[in-house]
Structure 1
């Protein structure tokens, strides 16, 4: 799972190697059982020899003869899934799982199909049911660990994967998933160690794909730590041997410009133009097309860049559930819950001798939030914690808990003072625990006076933030609307930015967000909330950096002007940019592509005259 942009999901692909039968003598008479086993063996042979049509025909005959036989149901479901009939496959596998003769492999493949269709919570429930029956089945444990090793549930994956490793210490996938779980918690040193062990286990097992995947995961970790030379060397080494490896190529394009004569560039262009593109899984298509768009943009090849970008965004959008109306509802409910009267007694923040205070950097993605965090984190008294999902996760959990206790959702979403205080206490504890584990600097975590959380989407929670901590500060980052939106549109995000893959939806979201921010601007006091423009930082780094540090309540430190020299883990698309001195080339970067951005400009209300300017 290394970066949030290129997570490698090992769950979601039920192995269409037809399994050996797990028949039970009591399931049928001995003659019938013998016949069924022969048919299953023949299906396996036909399938492995590339005779899929014959295998499917024989499978249909098998199920007609033995309609309730679990192995027949299992095989039929796998073939339905292969044919794109996933809902039928799910229904059939549920019958196999409910059979008295069911096997753990049925639960594993059902969970994989559910996960591949986007039903992650249902996939977890299926694996949990399987583990009730087979609590020490290492394959069930492994799949549960892989599924949990992402985002909010990564901490739950670790004990599951430890049990898996204890049972199967040579299983590279278990070590790889453990690395992903630690990385999701920003514990990059532990992640690298587990990826390295996973690489050795894959090597010992002769698993070439596993060996490459674990190497790429290590390269992505090095990239986050700023070891760009080491990361690039890994990706280039893989591409030298496998010029068509999509994930390695995608990671290389994130490292900066790729030479026009790079061997993999032509390989990837040819792949995208061939019939083989349609045979790739959707995730691989996305990586290929987004990375090709990046390579063409870097080379100034506007038309092919935008062709690939439009195709990549279309594929990504098809896999997502997004409702503009639900966003409007969230914003309206939030405005009603946090009127100006709730902030009239808000006092200026002050230093506490007992604990550091929190700074929240918010705004649209690609609006300069990483740059602001990097400037702040270059101060010796500031710890940059990156994009923390802590507040959103515990807010959602708390709301659901109260609703299950019988309170109406409308009442809960008003966020009474007791709920806000509890949320603040939980947030503070969880963040302190997190930074204690991930702090790699020489500074003791207790000596930091400020902790920066730069989750952009916390702009929805600015009212909560201002009330839950008496000393919290909020910095809202702004950037030119077209530059912001175009920068979102040409990126493949790992999570949460479901609005950014369609130009109309992206422009509409930005306009809605802009109006929503008017509310916080009107109700939050200036000593708790400021706004900073990306363009102002670029044009006046010294003045804007001093303004940020002054707002943070800290004495000036010259290191803030040399933010690009600060060594720290950065897990966003801006990781490379903020390791360079300030530059102006990102201002107006959308203009060469304007002819392809009509829907976005229309949605934002950008006129032809503004485009020319």
Structure 2
């Protein structure tokens, strides 16, 4: 090849590159028709050029010719194995077309091909978030952010992965980075309002909710977060005003209205009741989730106004809808309870007395949901030496990080394979979770209700730990659960039968744990705490090994927010109106009383219309 030929080829290549750049500018500016004409002109000269075919496929997709466009991109990917950009574009349009499962391997191939290309990691992470594979998504998005910290979507998606796995404090940093990229990002402000609320940084949460409202005054979600934050701060009237702002809107109106009704007592002349009746007229036209929300709200309103029959009718209807959406596997639940009882035996305890971490002393507050765990945690949060953690996923995290111990729990390895080192390692992972959440006190309270299942393991992993298993009259406890709209979070609560069976399993497991480790695990009776808070807390503090402090009785001044269904109750002084509330419902709960059997007294059964 002579020099003039090489010069001619170089000139031709330069012209093609300039034309490609022009086509890309057309596409980026939305001038799809102009781009298409230029692409066709180039293809007439270079029909097999992979980059031009890549642009052709993109243009067809942008024009709405989905099948043709994807077919061309697939051909380019097959024939040009090193074209990472075509691979990313092909996978992106697969994902946008709803075929995320097919897109993920393509993104993974792009990442392997170009490990330092931020866009590949970013798109892989986004696809993994869609598929709820959050831990993998966090890894990919963290890598993308390290390669290019200026990608707004990366920071938002990373935060979303943390939020959806309830690691709210860890969502805060990427959201602030998102705001550094775009200070007017409504999504960043809205998610910061949520993450800061759940991380108990309430004033900051309120600021970002209000900023989101300024930027998007018609958006409902920031009003919802503002209402939740104000309620957690105890500013109930302001919270009610925030919920009322969006309680009359389609779609978001019912959840906001339901939240408002759960915040305060409903009366016939309250604005929320009038809205409730307006929505009730449209109930049959609503999707299932909103119908369930509305039935629970109607149940609460009827309960407030003393109409127990209407209340129970609505609670049963709301739970029936939720049960269809989120079935409960009763057999698996019973097997898990039995497994924990069979693992932690007196012999097992004696064998592992030398295990565990001694430098921290978790205070584990657990029991059936709605048994008083929130009240107890709030009281501990007022103690000068206790850092209240709320409902922590620490035990679940520690098990996931302890595969050998997890195999034993799942009966894939014999109980005899458990070593002291395994239990100590479990404790170290639990402590790592606490530190990641900013909990570094010697005494940290953890009020995850189902920790009663793992009380024995926790006690051995932390020889100084104390486990308080809350107990409440079963009729009050189960009725309170049945009246609460847990959605997918607690499917056992959607029927009387499953609730009773879960309670019976809880009772067996809790009795076993207390009998096996009485120096570390004890019962706390909710009704006794309500009747004599000072006497009970003095006794509890003796068991925990900390001095009693008078401030513990004034839990309404706790600086820790309440993010559970109990928020409207724990912001009031300790009260007895929830004690024996079930008696108001009497014969309406015959099925519950009959199934509880020996767990009730003869007088309890008589009140329900049994054994009269």
Tell me the TM-score normalized by structure 1.
0.72
1:10-409 residue pairs with structure 2 within 5 A?
68=71, 92=99, 120-121=132-133, 138-139=152-153, 142-154=156-168, 157-158=171-172, 160-203=174-217, 208-209=218-219, 212-239=220-247, 245-274=253-282, 277-278=285-286, 280=287, 282-344=288-350, 357-399=361-403, 409=412
Give the Cα–Cα distance (whole angstroms) in 1 for the partners of residues 351 and 523 of structure 2: 21
Deviation at 1:593, TM superposition (A): 3.1
Whether the aligned pair in 1 keeps the contact of 2:104 and 2:127 (CA below 8 Å) is no
Larger Cα-atom Rg: 2
Structure 2 counterpart of 1:600: 592
Whether the aligned pair in 2 keeps the contact of 1:367 and 1:478 (CA below 8 Å) is yes
Of 509, 513, 516 in structure 2, the residue corresponding to residue 516 of structure 1 is: 509
Give the Cα–Cα distance (whole angstroms) in 1 for the partners of residues 438 and 135 of structure 2: 31
Give the Cα–Cα distance (whole angstroms) in 2 for the partners of residues 130 and 380 of structure 1: 37
Whether the aligned pair in 2 keeps the contact of 1:375 and 1:561 (CA below 8 Å) is yes
Of 427, 451, 467 in structure 2, the residue corresponding to residue 474 of structure 1 is: 467
Provide Cα deviations, 1:188-231, integer angstroms capped at 9, x if missing partner: 4443343343333324xxxx12xx32132122112223232432
Deviation at 1:471, TM superposition (A): 1.2
Range with greater deviation from structure 2 (239-248 or 220-229): 239-248
Give the Cα–Cα distance (whole angstroms) in 1 for the partners of residues 366 and 418 of structure 2: 20
Provide Cα deviations, 1:284-322, integer angstroms capped at 9, x if missing partner: 334333222211111122233223222322232233253
Q: Name the CA shift for 1:175/1:109 in 2 (closer, same or farther; >3 Å).
A: farther
Provide Cα deviations, 1:336-367, integer angstroms capped at 9, x if missing partner: 3211123348989xx98xx5632111110111
Q: Check if 1:545 corresponds to 2:543.
A: no
Structure 2 counterpart of 1:609: 606
Q: Check if 1:576 corresponds to 2:579.
A: no
Give the Cα–Cα distance (whole angstroms) in 2 for the partners of residues 130 and 544 of structure 1: 48
Range with greater deviation from structure 2 (367-376 or 267-276): 267-276
Structure 2 counterpart of 1:416: 419
Q: Check if 1:587 corresponds to 2:579.
A: yes
Whether the aligned pair in 2 keeps the contact of 1:149 and 1:178 (CA below 8 Å) is no
Q: Name the CA shift for 1:474/1:22 in 2 (closer, same or farther; >3 Å).
A: farther
Q: Name the CA shift for 1:420/1:496 in 2 (closer, same or farther; >3 Å).
A: farther
Q: Name the CA shift for 1:303/1:132 in 2 (closer, same or farther; >3 Å).
A: same
Higher RCO structure (Cα 8 Å, ≥6 apart): 1
Specify the SS of the correspondent of 2:364.
strand
Pairwise CA RMSD: 4.6
Whether the aligned pair in 2 keeps the contact of 1:150 and 1:184 (CA below 8 Å) is no
Whether the aligned pair in 1 keeps the contact of 2:394 and 2:433 (CA below 8 Å) is yes
Whether the aligned pair in 2 keeps the contact of 1:369 and 1:454 (CA below 8 Å) is yes
Give the Cα–Cα distance (whole angstroms) in 2 for the partners of residues 343 and 97 of structure 1: 46
Range with greater deviation from structure 2 (410-419 or 579-588): 410-419
Whether the aligned pair in 1 keeps the contact of 2:337 and 2:509 (CA below 8 Å) is yes
Deviation at 1:414, TM superposition (A): 6.3
In structure 2, the gaps of 5 or more residues are 1-29, 44-54, 75-94, 111-118
Specify the SS of the correspondent of 1:120.
coil
Of 448, 453, 463 in structure 2, the residue corresponding to residue 455 of structure 1 is: 448
Specify the SS of the correspondent of 1:464.
helix
Deviation at 1:403, TM superposition (A): 6.3
Deviation at 1:244, TM superposition (A): 8.2
Whether the aligned pair in 2 keeps the contact of 1:384 and 1:452 (CA below 8 Å) is yes
Give the Cα–Cα distance (whole angstroms) in 2 for the partners of residues 243 and 408 of structure 1: 45
Specify the SS of the correspondent of 1:380.
coil
Deviation at 1:69, TM superposition (A): 7.7
Q: Name the CA shift for 1:188/1:311 in 2 (closer, same or farther; >3 Å).
A: same
Give the Cα–Cα distance (whole angstroms) in 2 for the partners of residues 475 and 94 of structure 1: 45
Q: Name the CA shift for 1:68/1:489 in 2 (closer, same or farther; >3 Å).
A: farther
Structure 2 counterpart of 1:59: none
Tell me the TM-score normalized by structure 2.
0.72
Aligned length: 527
Q: Name the CA shift for 1:157/1:581 in 2 (closer, same or farther; >3 Å).
A: closer
Whether the aligned pair in 1 keeps the contact of 2:128 and 2:136 (CA below 8 Å) is no
Whether the aligned pair in 1 keeps the contact of 2:367 and 2:470 (CA below 8 Å) is yes
In structure 1, the gaps of 5 or more residues are 1-19, 44-61, 72-87, 437-444
Give the Cα–Cα distance (whole angstroms) in 2 for the partners of residues 402 and 531 of structure 1: 27
Deviation at 1:532, TM superposition (A): 1.7
Specify the SS of the correspondent of 1:357.
coil
Deviation at 1:549, TM superposition (A): 1.9
